[in-house]
Amino acid sequence: MATEITLEVARYRPGVDSEPVMQSYQVPLREHWAILDGLTYVKDHLDGTLSFRWSCRMGICGSCGMTVNGEPQLSCATFLTDYAPGPIRVEPLHNFPVVRDLVVDIDDFMTKLPKVKPWVVREVQSPVEEGEYLQTPEELDEYQQFSMCINCMLCYSACPVYSLEPDFLGPAAIALAQRYNLDSRDEGADERRDVLSSPEGVWACTFVGECSAVCPKGVDPAGAIQRYKLTAATQSIKELLMPRISRRLNSRSQG
């Protein structure tokens, strides 16, 4: 086996490059090295000006998402040997503005995420002395997979709808909304409804399913979105057929 592999890395240095250019680096091809180790080798030994984000190196922090040979990947969980003999093309995540080299600007997601109130909403907070909100294992199963999201943005990068409609709320934000909607302790589903069931919410999704295919944590955002579509459609048809009853129920549940 070859002892080295070529990384073709997208470089964009504001003020120097007018557009991204590819630069090749030879890095050692070691069995246990991920793409991220290759990039770290470049930064330590070949070119200290290369910029990329990383933190935990173990698929927990969600910082090191990049486009590897055209596919969105966590660079810490994608191994050099899987791409031997190379070359391996490493680019920033698609669908986001590039700040520098492999670093992208995810402000759009950070603005959208709080709109779905991704936290447990309670009408009345019980005092701590009353103890925990108990939950059965079945109730935990309802939302647990959606709680595995690490906000790595691979799903946004893979989503063709997000690339066409930047206003789309997006896979991770909707999956995280469902993480709380499906939590037995949560009472915020009505407060999340306006955002989720808007045209930029679940209705923008055309169920391509790439978000679920690329998720490194096994979350199924496409499933979360389809499930919410059913909830939202059932509610609007109920309102259409029984406007008075559902209005009364709504005003009661919204206090």
Partner 1 sequence: MNHRRSSPEPLLWMLFSSGGMVAALMVPILLFLFGIAFPVGLLSAPSHAHLYAVLHNPLTRLVLFGLCALALFHWAHRFRYTLYDGLQLKRYAVPIVVLCYGGAVVGCVIAAGLLLTV
Residue numbers at the binding site for partner 1 (CB under 8 A): 160-161, 164, 193-194, 197-199, 203, 206, 229-230, 232-233, 236-237, 240, 247, 250
Token match 């992208």: residue? 104
Least separation, in Å, of the C-beta of 127 and partner 1?
A: 30
Between 18 and 251, name the residue whose CB sits nearer to partner 1. Answer: 251
What is the gyration radius of the CA atoms in the chain, in angstroms? 22
Between 60 and 237, name the residue whose CB sits nearer to partner 1. Answer: 237
The whole-angstrom separation of Cα 110 and Cα 129 is 34
Least separation, in Å, of the C-beta of 209 and partner 1?
A: 14
Between 144 and 236, name the residue whose CB sits nearer to partner 1. Answer: 236
Cα separations in angstroms, 241 against 16, 19, 66, 232, 235: 61, 55, 48, 14, 10
Least separation, in Å, of the C-beta of 108 and partner 1?
A: 19
* Contact assessment for residue 241 and residue 213, using Cβ atoms and an 8 Å cutoff: no
Between 16 and 237, name the residue whose CB sits nearer to partner 1. Answer: 237
Least separation, in Å, of the C-beta of 92 and partner 1?
A: 23
Strands (E) located in 78-234: 88-91, 98-100, 103-104
Between 38 and 171, name the residue whose CB sits nearer to partner 1. Answer: 171
Least separation, in Å, of the C-beta of 75 and partner 1?
A: 29
CB atoms within 10 A of CB 141: 10
Amino acid at the residue 172: A
Closest CA to 187 of 249, 125, 144, 141: 125
